[in-house]
Copies of this chain bind each other. A is one copy, B any other.
């Protein structure tokens, strides 16, 4: 059975969406995903905006109620019948996120076994056939085939097979 590792933030969890909504509301400045295409958030925001975003990420329970990315539950459920699915998230940058991330996964993807959750930093440690991730640097060090999940910051990245949505993941792995 082939093994697919799946990233959480921007692939299963709309973390950026939550960040932008909160920033827009608190700063009274609308900021959308469209506005930051091809850039990192820290390239677009003033230094105090970057600090604000960091404070959101570090705040207690931030990762508790992030919206699920459309289609991820249905497609992962079907994939889990045909592949070994591991969830691999770079949690070490935000140690306060461990508990929230665990609970979030259990709440929204109860068909996945916690034995297959991996909270890590450097994703080159993953032994899997595929890694679906939005971060090119994670795909670059991964030993299997990296699949790039579209996020605003990576729209201009090349060199990987790309999926724009879970519908695309479905088409790639289930048809």
Q: For A115, what are the chain B residues with a Cβ–Cβ distance below 8 Å?
A: 92, 121-122
How far does the alpha carbon of A122 sit from the alpha carbon of B95 in the complex, in Å? 21
Q: Is the CB of B113 within 8 A of A121?
A: yes
Q: For A120, what are the chain B residues with a Cβ–Cβ distance below 8 Å?
A: 117-120
Q: Any chain B CB within 8 A of the CB of A98?
A: yes
Q: How many copies of this chain are found per oligomer?
A: 2
Q: Any chain B CB within 8 A of the CB of A116?
A: yes
Q: Is the CB of B126 within 8 A of A122?
A: no
Q: Which parts of A31-60 form the interface with B (CB within 8 Å)?
A: none
Q: Any chain B CB within 8 A of the CB of A164?
A: no
How far does the alpha carbon of A95 sit from the alpha carbon of B103 in the complex, in Å? 9
The residues of A with any CB-CB pair to B shorter than 8 Å are: 3, 5, 86, 88, 91-92, 95-96, 98-99, 102-103, 113-122, 124-128, 143
